Structure 1
């Protein structure tokens, strides 16, 4: 049964790897044929057209092979921009990282100005990304975070004077960023508010239940006030899980309230709001899991030695809410952790002999 589930996935990965290798060999062969023609115009036209398409689709391997075959192609005009600037405009981080390692081209391209609009590289980073590149992350809040990460990355690269440079409309890069992203900022505020509001309701309910359960212990109390099942290990599990549920749900409520009372400034979407949402979702997941464990332990205490045949199915059924929450919210949680705490999208890649 397990092999029937795993085998198709392994087979699919295998075919993807084979197709990647065949594509690489085909590109390498085409580049070799183009160079063997020993005609600058042909090489410039064919390879230039190839890297233009590659920049738009983010195929950095194709760009790397073209540059290795014909280094001069790095200066090809891609839609009015050099390769480095085109990568910024198209928000292709892998192409950006690849060209970033070629220091000479990076420095020269970053100092160029667009004669028509009098804009530098930071102005390009301040403009809104193409729709298909915005959709690589979930939700307007994470999209805003990705745009801020791009602007911050390019800001480190350009000369200090470029940060206050004015384009033909008299706008600095920061002013242009604010103007271009005002609609996305509004959508981000609504998205994160709605998410926090919904989760706050669930977390508050768990706080109420966990607090009430602490004073209504299963089985009642003895004459001296001690719980009836105090000496059983299952009761200890109930106490611990109920305490975890109470503390984690309280933490979750505090994080979501921190989001709802935030000023929602542009810079808040870079770190502050994603961190609060990440901690809030993690705490909420822990509280749901702990609540289900507490409920299972109560069932085990109450039904022990009575209706044993129904206890096991009920305990197993309590894992369903935890599973559903994981399936529905785990992808978002992974994106939040990767984009906020994970490795930056701007990192050194394994490029072959590119300097």
Structure 2
């Protein structure tokens, strides 16, 4: 097997394209669609190219073919459109998610100043201060505010990125993963805060009402998780697992 690897790694065709030149070509659509989104497809292409780069002789990395192109030049040319599509997809996703995160931050920020039950007219202390649900409400609201704020900042950093080729390798997907995770936490904790507020108001009076509302509150969280699970899972696989998918155990040339 080692001899075959050496032979393949040292391969050159009639146009003086080595194996790294061949790896620089755009993958077929059927292979690109293994992962969702043009940005993750660009990341997969970069991982494949850099994986092949590790097994070829060092001289092959800068070798030019008959068109006077190095493998890197060829990769840039062949992936020009995918790079543009990846930038467009990433910006569109970040914009949509940032809008949702901004709405959540606005709601939970206002909620902390309009506490359920209001304050005591004489002391100004919240009426439900000693209740367990009040503590749950405050903590959940605070977590929702902080996580949505973190999500906003993360998606903003995606929008202002320079979108160079190497940014699609780790930087942009990692930011997207963190932003989606923070957004999910903010949605979940916002719903928990709402359920806690309802439970405080109807505590011991109408037991069924809080239960029904809590069950209904789980619907948007479940929908968000279900609709974005594939994107979240693809991002994790592409960013952290696929980095080792194309990584050889031993370099053939030193």
- Normalising by structure 1, we get a TM-score of 0.68
| Structure 2 residue 236 is matched with structure 1 residue 337 | yes
Corresponding position of 2:252: none
Conserved 8 A contact 2:10-2:18: yes
Structure-1 residue corresponding to 2:119: 221
SS in 1 for 2:241: coil
1:275-286 to 2 correspondences below 5 Å: 275-286=174-185
Q: Is 1:156 matched up with 2:54?
A: yes
Alpha-carbon distance, 1:215 to partner: 1.3
Match of 2:78 among 174, 180, 185: 180
The reply on whether 1:136 has 2:34 as its aligned counterpart is yes
The aligned counterpart of 2:224 is 325
Q: Post-superposition shift, 1:346?
A: 2.7
- Report what 2:20 is aligned to: 122
Per-residue deviation, 1:348: 7.6
Counterpart position of 1:269: 168
> Is contact 2:104-2:144 (8 Å) kept?
yes
CA distance in 1, matches of 2:59, 2:99: 48
RMSD between aligned residues: 1.3
Cα pair 2:173 2:235 within 8 Å, conserved: yes
> Is the aligned partner of 1:231 residue 2:130?
yes
* Secondary structure class of the residue paired with 1:201: helix
Which consecutive residues of structure 1, in runs of 5 or more, have no partner in the other structure? 1-101, 350-355
Matches within 5 A, 1:60-99: none
1:195 aligned partner:
93
Larger radius of gyration: 1
Decide whether the 8 Å contact of 2:55 with 2:248 is kept in 1: no
Whether 2:205 is the aligned partner of 1:303: answer no
How far did 1:307 drift? 2.9
Relative CO higher for 1 or 2, CA cutoff 8 Å, sep ≥ 6? Answer: 2
Match for 1:165 among 50, 56, 63?
63
Unmatched 5+ stretches in structure 2: 250-254
Mapped to 1, the partners of 2:70 and 2:151 lie a distance apart of: 39
Quick one: distance in 1 between partners of 2:157 and 2:182? 14
Give the Cα separation in 2 of the matches to 1:148 and 1:286: 31
Q: Matched residue pairs, number?
A: 247
Distance 1:150 1:348, change over 3 A: closer
Deviation at 1:130, TM superposition (A): 1.2
